[in-house]
Structure 1
Amino acid sequence: MEPTATAWREQLRRGELSAVELCEHYLARLDAVAHLNAVVARDDEAARAAAAAADARIRAGEDGPLLGIPLTVKDGLDAVGMPCRTGSLARADQPVRDAEVVRRVKAAGAVVLGKTNMPELGMSYETDNRVYGRTDHPFDPRRTPGGSSGGEGAVLGADASPLGIGTDGGGSIRVPSAFCGLFGLRPTTGRVPGTGAWPPGRAGSTFDLTCVGPMGRGTADIASLLGVLAGPDLVDPFAPPVPFADWTAVDVSRLRVGWYVEDGVAAPVSEVRAAVEKAAVALGEAGATVVEVVPPAGVRRATEYFFRATAADGGERLLDLVGDRPEDHVPQFLELVRHPPYGGSTSAADYFALLQEIFDLRAEVRRWVADYDVVLAPVVAGPAPLHGEPPAGVPGERYLRYESFNYTHTYSIAGLPAGSAPVAVSDGLPIGVQVVAPAWREDLVLAAQQVLEDAFGGFAMTDHLRAWTGSGATADTSSGRNRGEQR
């Protein structure tokens, strides 16, 4: 297993290797796992130049958590010098400025290795599109790494990038993290500005549901990245100046932890149920007060509300952006946009009524979570499924109802900080557990994730599963072109 980003930073600090050497190492790692079709754009010369600049800053005595550290960025975030296609044939122009989060990591001395694949406009838990094709799971090419930050999940899970920036609307950081044995964190709505994400969603019907957040192979790694990403930019109206608390100062023995498995919608497999129970036991053994809880009845409508908001205009805005020619889209995207599984709004009054229902559920879940410091739940009802199939044995004809993901939709609607931590491996597939905290308490999520990392080994528990990733196995990418773009 590759060192964590935190461990690499210590080696850079001690002068045991240079940022240029580390950059070259990871460019070679990306070449070695090209068969996953996870990275869709690279600018190797720009990466090398950034690494050389980081070395100069280190020699000058500068320090910082990301200085000289390579990372990858989801394709839905603008990065100058590389396209931002968002999995769509409709956007071919080059961005003229970096997304705010990309600007911040570059200013911190991080080295952007490339852009990672995603489903078109982030509208799926299967990473596939007509521009670049399908991304495969790092441990089993027959399976999906999830979505919509699936390219990040695959490249991180294959040990070919130490850190990644993803986005999460309905679970798009948490699901790939759970499927690929990673740590990921969807911050509180507004903790990280979304300026420079495409398509822009603040003026859309899902206005504040999408967040930018970190993905990585250890708790300390994602905490360091989140510390750089967090804070207002005075552009995103949903990003207020709320202080970011020190997660290392949390006394776990004083935490009140609630956990549950049943939410009235999803039907989790036994392995997922066992993983949540094991996570609860681990926090109890760390001194926390742990109780089994029952979520509010309203969470049963979280998935319905999420997709009704997405389709509030009947899909017209999305189709205006990307067109409706069947040959331009994978069938799943077109079906979801043309025939929303829970219907759309029929009038402005109908949409405003939906917003009120969403805000009512947000308040209900926030009040409930506020009784605890941490809540544990499944991320998904099952591990990574085969391509084109829903998880947890859900019948294929119910795939587009997305009931297995109600656990993540619940906390997307609530706008709460929610992370994923790897807790178990079953039949060669990682099982992640969701860790939730009250608003603005990412420190509590991270502290609990660290307990789970210490108890179960974190990313290291999946080390033996990565043996095939360097074997030159090839992916079936017939649904798309499978061509990354490189300068």
Structure 2
Amino acid sequence: MTMGAEPSAVEWLRRLDARELSARELAEHYLRLLDGAALLNAVVVVDPDRVLAEASETDRFRHEGQPMSLLGLPVTVKDNLDVAGYPTAAGSAGAFAAAGTDATVVRRLRAAGAIVLAKTNVPEASSSYETDNAATGRTNHPIDPARTPGGSSGGETALLGADASPVGVGTDGGGSIRVPAHYCGLIGLRPTVGRTPETGQQPPTRATGMMDLSCVGPIARTVADAALLLRVICGSDGIDPYAPPMPPPELGQLRCPRTLRIGFWTCDPTVPHTTGPTQAAIRTAAAAFDRPGWSVEEIAAPCEPAANELFFAALAADGGAHLLERLGTTPRPHHPQFSALLTQLDASPPTASEIFTVQRRIFALRSRMRALAERYDLLLSPVVAGPAPRHGEAPGDRNGSGPSDYSAFHYVHVIALAGLPAATVPVATESGLPIGVQIIAAPFREDMVLAAAQHLEGVFGGFTLTRGLRRAATA
């Protein structure tokens, strides 16, 4: 496929508002791009007739002068979020009924005038950092098809990384937005849990051990596009108990304050196989904040060696009951890695005492990490141990490790357990692949995270950093 330099979502909206093109013309353009990106295997549901009909309707709305912030903009949606009229398979094989209603965030996107272009591939039950399943197969990286785009929002990041979607929505329980965004050189924002409601996510997490870990967030090629989507999808819906009423984040002018204190670490002792170029990228990103009024300090990595253990203990807290309930009793094929997870969950369901012990340990970690986040305005760390690995392998300098080696993901798991907002932004490359930095702030300071991301985007080029590599790989 041949890939050009597609405008940002913000720029597309400007052109739509200026009547430089119609929403239908834009939808036709992206349907062609989806066809051209077929080798990525990133799309699981697309209905061109429906997309074009909705685009024509938004053209009518514009002609009538109806004010909508996303009017005519195509968006893609991770296939664990309900879109009315489409099934939500969430990576599982077999027949699933079409959703009767939109997930809250999808409903808000539609209400703002957006058009759902397609639903994108995920590992089964969003349970892996490799997007592969027995239903629709493996999704490939936009630069190197021998590599993974990550997971579990891997279909989203593959499309966005190939410039075949303007902007998308994913979910992040442990790192499912940040990891694939890092692999594909994108902006991925994990908001504070509660900033966006997860109503309509499948399988639901609020009644599981992931109840206060999972959230919905934007994935984009630019920071401005991510902020644009966050404005629309944030806020209580009166259904999700973890999304209370609160003022929206101030995202009008993304500017870092005149005084800023930043702490960073380049390698965690728990992840000694973090690659040298990854560590150098974090140090380079930190140096970009060396400005008058801003102090930058290298600090010891938070001593949280049990983070991965606690994350998977939370994942297994209900013994997989809600997951198995969704799958039902109908025999269906599973990816080998997911089959192993089901066997593990079924073999050792935790006792109530064990669940509460895990919860106490998570709360203690959360307190320590939030205290650190209060001492600094921003924290910078690696996202994972290295760039996108080959299919079936783990990232970082560890030869022979497979997809079940989760040690490289310690960096994202710590932040998920801490309940802190975080974003990834590309700042360097390693062997022709993007390397991102994880930007972290105190709870509900998404404005600070995005302002810092925009600063780094301005310094290093953001998505454009590897656009030439993408073009060469897909020509």
* TM-score normalised by L of structure 1: 0.92
Change (3 A) 1:286 1:304: farther
Instruction: Write out aligned runs for 1:431-442 (5 A).
Output: 431-442=435-446
| Aligned equivalent of 1:338, options 340, 343, 351 | 343
Q: Distance in 2 between matches of 1:379 and 1:454?
A: 20
Residues 229-284 of structure 1: per-residue CA shift (max 9 Å, x gap): 00000000000122223232543432211111222211310111011111111122
Q: Distance in 1 between matches of 2:426 and 2:41?
A: 23
Specify the alignment match of 1:92 in structure 2.
96
Specify the alignment match of 1:234 in structure 2.
238
The DSSP-based 3-state class of the residue aligned with 2:289 is: helix
Specify the alignment match of 1:289 in structure 2.
295
- Residue 318 of structure 2 corresponds to residue 309 of structure 1: no
Specify the alignment match of 2:270 in structure 1.
265
Runs of 5+ in structure 1 lacking a partner?
472-487
Change (3 A) 1:425 1:401: closer
Amino acid paired to 1:360:
A
Residues 343-388 of structure 1: per-residue CA shift (max 9 Å, x gap): 9653111111111111111111111111111110011110000000
- Residue 279 of structure 2 corresponds to residue 278 of structure 1: no
Q: Distance in 2 between matches of 1:140 and 1:401?
A: 22
Q: Indicate conservation of the 8 Å contact 1:158/1:469, yes or no.
A: no
Q: Indicate conservation of the 8 Å contact 1:120/1:333, yes or no.
A: yes
The DSSP-based 3-state class of the residue aligned with 2:71 is: coil
The Cα of 1:400 is off from its aligned counterpart by 1.9
Specify the alignment match of 1:125 in structure 2.
129
Equivalent pairs counted in the alignment come to 469
Change (3 A) 1:314 1:23: same
Q: Indicate conservation of the 8 Å contact 1:13/1:63, yes or no.
A: no
Runs of 5+ in structure 2 lacking a partner?
none
| Aligned equivalent of 1:187, options 182, 187, 191 | 191
Residues 60-94 of structure 1: per-residue CA shift (max 9 Å, x gap): 33444322111100000000122210001255111
The Cα of 1:397 is off from its aligned counterpart by 4.9
- Residue 83 of structure 2 corresponds to residue 79 of structure 1: yes
Q: Indicate conservation of the 8 Å contact 2:203/2:323, yes or no.
A: no
Q: Indicate conservation of the 8 Å contact 2:383/2:412, yes or no.
A: yes
The Cα of 1:35 is off from its aligned counterpart by 1.0
Q: Indicate conservation of the 8 Å contact 1:242/1:440, yes or no.
A: no
- Residue 321 of structure 2 corresponds to residue 353 of structure 1: no
- Residue 253 of structure 2 corresponds to residue 246 of structure 1: no
Specify the alignment match of 1:318 in structure 2.
323
Higher relative contact order (CA 8 A, sep 6+): 1
Q: Distance in 1 between matches of 2:64 and 2:325?
A: 51
Instruction: Write out aligned runs for 1:56-205 (5 A).
Output: 56-89=60-93, 92-205=96-209
Q: Indicate conservation of the 8 Å contact 1:90/1:321, yes or no.
A: no
The Cα of 1:228 is off from its aligned counterpart by 0.2
Q: Indicate conservation of the 8 Å contact 1:43/1:81, yes or no.
A: no
Specify the alignment match of 1:6 in structure 2.
10
- Residue 367 of structure 2 corresponds to residue 363 of structure 1: yes
Q: Distance in 2 between matches of 1:320 and 1:244?
A: 35
Change (3 A) 1:359 1:439: same
Specify the alignment match of 1:485 in structure 2.
none
Specify the alignment match of 1:223 in structure 2.
227
| Aligned equivalent of 2:35, options 17, 20, 31 | 31
Residues 87-138 of structure 1: per-residue CA shift (max 9 Å, x gap): 0125511111011111000010011101000000000000000110000000
The DSSP-based 3-state class of the residue aligned with 1:369 is: helix
Change (3 A) 1:120 1:335: same
Across the aligned residues of Structure 1 and Structure 2, the Cα RMSD in angstroms comes to 2.0
| Aligned equivalent of 1:380, options 384, 388, 403 | 384
Q: Indicate conservation of the 8 Å contact 1:308/1:345, yes or no.
A: no
The Cα of 1:198 is off from its aligned counterpart by 0.4
- Residue 399 of structure 2 corresponds to residue 420 of structure 1: no
Q: Indicate conservation of the 8 Å contact 2:143/2:474, yes or no.
A: no
The DSSP-based 3-state class of the residue aligned with 2:448 is: helix
Change (3 A) 1:327 1:91: closer
Amino acid paired to 1:270:
G
Report the more deviating stretch, 460-469 or 172-181: 460-469
Change (3 A) 1:389 1:20: same
| Aligned equivalent of 2:334, options 313, 324, 329 | 329
Q: Distance in 2 between matches of 1:254 and 1:62?
A: 41
Residues 194-226 of structure 1: per-residue CA shift (max 9 Å, x gap): 000001110112112111000010000000000
Q: Distance in 2 between matches of 1:281 and 1:75?
A: 38
Q: Distance in 1 between matches of 2:44 and 2:108?
A: 22
The Cα of 1:296 is off from its aligned counterpart by 3.1
Change (3 A) 1:106 1:365: same
* TM-score normalised by L of structure 2: 0.94
Q: Distance in 2 between matches of 1:360 and 1:254?
A: 30
The DSSP-based 3-state class of the residue aligned with 2:109 is: helix
Specify the alignment match of 1:474 in structure 2.
none
Q: Distance in 2 between matches of 1:140 and 1:253?
A: 41
